[in-house]
Structure formats: C-alpha cells, structure tokens
C-alpha cells in the first residue's frame, strides 16, 4: 500500500429530517462519486463548535484509499533520499535538503 493515499469525496451536510428513501439516495450518490476509492467507508463528522449549545449539521463523506499520483511518488523518493543523506552525514533534515539542492544546482 506504499503507492496508495487516503482520499475522499466532497462533503455534504445533513440537517433536519430525511425519509428513508431520501437518505438512501444521498448515501448512494456519495458512494457513486467514490468509485475511484478502494475500501470506501462512510464518515459522519459533527460540525458543532465547543461554544455552541445546540447540534449543527452533520458533515458526511466517503473516505478510502486511492492510487498515488506520479508527483506524489516522486516527492516520496526525494524525501527518502534526503532522509538517507541526513542520516549518513549526521545532519538535520533541513541541512541535508540544502546540501541536496546545492548538489543538484552544481554549486558543490
């Protein structure tokens, strides 16, 4: 699962009362939008703030795993190289990143 990332559909906010048919239609629509996700799960999140005295709308979305993009894979590879360099030179991650950047630009 190294090349997988967490993804989710856009959120909807449920308020008031829904019939069983309306609720099922809303959830079906969310799962239809989540076709690209592996192992999709329905997530309910409260939007109530600590200072509120009454419940607010509920945020609902589908969450799951999606394939990583080429850009994300390349970024992971660069991060791993920087971490290896930092460990090898016994320097901080920031210093290793600076050294890597200077090497790529031909300054050192």
Q: What is the pLDDT of residues 47-104, one digit of tens each?
A: 878 787 777 788 889 999 988 889 988 998 999 999 999 999 999 999 999 998 898 8
Exposed/middle/buried for residue 51 (C-beta within 10 Å: 0-12, 13-18, 19+): exposed
pLDDT at 2 over 90: no
* Cβ neighbours around 30 below 10 Å, total: 20
pTM strictly above 0.75: no
What is the distance between the terminal CA atoms of the chain, rounded to a whole angstrom?
A: 37
What is the number of alpha carbons within 13 Å of residue 2 lying toward its C-beta? 6
Q: What is the pLDDT of residue 1?
A: 53
C-alpha–C-alpha distance, residues 101 and 90, integer Å = 17
To the nearest 10°, the Cα dihedral for 101, 103, 107, 108? 130
Q: What is the pLDDT of residue 79?
A: 92
């Amino acid at each position: 699962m190294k090349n997988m990332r967490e993804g989710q559909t856009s959120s909807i906010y449920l308020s008031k009362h829904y019939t069983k048919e309306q609720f099922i239609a809303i959830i079906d629509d969310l799962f239809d939008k989540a076709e690209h996700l592996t192992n999709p799960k329905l997530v309910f999140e409260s939007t109530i703030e600590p200072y509120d005295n009454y419940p607010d709308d509920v945020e609902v979305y589908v969450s799951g795993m999606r394939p990583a993009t080429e850009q994300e894979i390349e970024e992971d590879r660069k991060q791993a190289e920087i971490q290896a360099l930092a460990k090898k030179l016994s320097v901080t991650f920031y210093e290793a990143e600076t050294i890597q950047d200077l090497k790529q630009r031909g300054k050192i």
